[in-house]
Amino acid sequence: MTTHKGTIGILTGGGDVPGLNPAIRAVTIRAIGEGYRVVGLRRGWAGLVDLVPDKDADNSLNFQMLDEGVVNRSVRTGGTLLHTSRTRPSHLPRKSVPAHLTGEYSEDVNDVTGAVLKNLDWLGIDYLIPIGGDDTLSYAYRLHTEGVKVVAIPKTMDNDVPGTDYCIGFGTCVTRTIEMTHALRSTAGSHERILVIEVFGRYAGFTALLPTMAGAADRCVIPEQEFEVEKLTELLIQDRDRNPNRYSVALVSEGATMSGEMSFEGEGTDQYGHRRLGGIGDQVANQISELSAGFNNGNRIEATSQRLGYMVRSGVPDAIDSVAPMAFGNLALDLVLQGTPGRLVSVSQGVYGNVSLDVVHGPHKVVDIEKYYNTERLRPNYATFDGNPLFLS
C-alpha cells in the first residue's frame, strides 16, 4: 500500500478567472513530488457542504483525486477544472441544505460549519488550500479559527484582496480590457460616437484605471470616487473634438456611482449578501447622449455602451496569469512543508511572499485616489511612477 506524508485539499470559489488551472496544477505536481496526495474539492465550498461521509455514497460531484494526468490536461485552459460556486457554509439557505443534513439544519439560514469540519476529517485532509477572493477567503479564515490548517491563494479580477499587490485573474482582465477596447474603437470612430465601456470593479477601480493609463480610453470613472456625469460628458466631448476620427472612449467600473448608489440588476443577493451589479454603463451612455447638446453647440452626440463582462474572464490566461499562479502554488507548498498554516501567499512591491490570513478581514484594497487618480480630469494621475508598485496597488 502506498503511504503518503499527508493529504492536501484544494478548491476554487467565487467567480472563475484565467489562471486557476495553472495554480491547481502547480499545487498538485509539487505536492505529489513531496509525497502528498491531493484531493480536489469540487464547486468551491459546496463540495464540502454536499459531501456525504460514507464510503458507499456517490461523491463524484463533490471531490476527485488529482494527479499529473488530470492537471496537465487543463493547464492551458481558462476557468477551473474543479468548478466553482458562491456557496457560503456559514450562511446556507434552507433550500441549499443537502438532504442528508436537513434533520440537523432546518433554519432559514444555517451555519453548517460543523458538517464541513466533519467532512474535512473524513477526507483526511491535513492542509486546505482555497483559491479565491475576499468572500471565499473570509470563510477560509473561519475554518482557520476552527483549527483547520489553511494556506490560501488570492484570486480576483478586481485585484482588491488586501495584503497582496496581485491576485490571480487580474493580469488577463487588464490585458483583455485593453485589447477589446482598442477593437471597439473602429465602430466608435466610424459613427463619430462617444463609447462607454463597462468593466469589472465592485469596490476597486484598478481594472478601469490601468487600461486607461495604458491608452485604451480617454477617461475612466471608478468606485472610489463618485462622479458627475455632466463633467464626464464635457470632458469626453473635448476629447472627441481633439480626435481627428471624432470619437472618444470612457471606461466605467461596474461599481462606480453618480449619486452614491451602485447600479444593480434585480433585488436578489448571493449567499455573501452581494446584489448583482450591472447597468451603470448603459445609464452613463444614455445620460451623455441627453446632455451632449449642451456642450456641443446644441448638437446631440450619440453615446453607445458595451459591457465587457464575462469576455474578460473567459479563455486562456495571459503570460502573468500563467506564471504567477505557478509561483503562488509553489509558495503555498513551501508553507505546507514548513508547517506554517494561517497564511495568504502574496506579492508585495514585486516580491513573492506571504502574510497572515487575517488580512482578509481588513478593508478592501482600493485605488489611492490622492496618488493615482485625477478627480477633476477623471483620468489616471501620471505625476510619478518612481518607487511605486507595478500595478499601483
**Catalytically annotated residues:** 158
- CA 175/CA 218 separation, integer angstroms: 17
Which helix (H) or strand (E) element contains residue 348? strand 343-348
Burial class, 103, CB count within 10 angstroms (exposed 0-12 / middle 13-18 / buried 19+): exposed
Placement of cell 480576483 in the chain: 156
- Which residues 6+ apart lie within 8 Å of 382 measured at CB? 213
- CA 324/CA 284 separation, integer angstroms: 35
Task: Decide if 12 contacts 44 (C-beta within 8 A).
Answer: yes
Residue among 113, 82, 108, 114 nearest 96 (CA): 108
Which helix (H) or strand (E) element contains residue 153? strand 151-154
Placement of cell 484598478 in the chain: 206
How remote is the C-alpha of 230 from its chain's centroid? 31
- CA 231/CA 378 separation, integer angstroms: 9
Can you read off the three cell numbers belonging to residue 381?
494621475
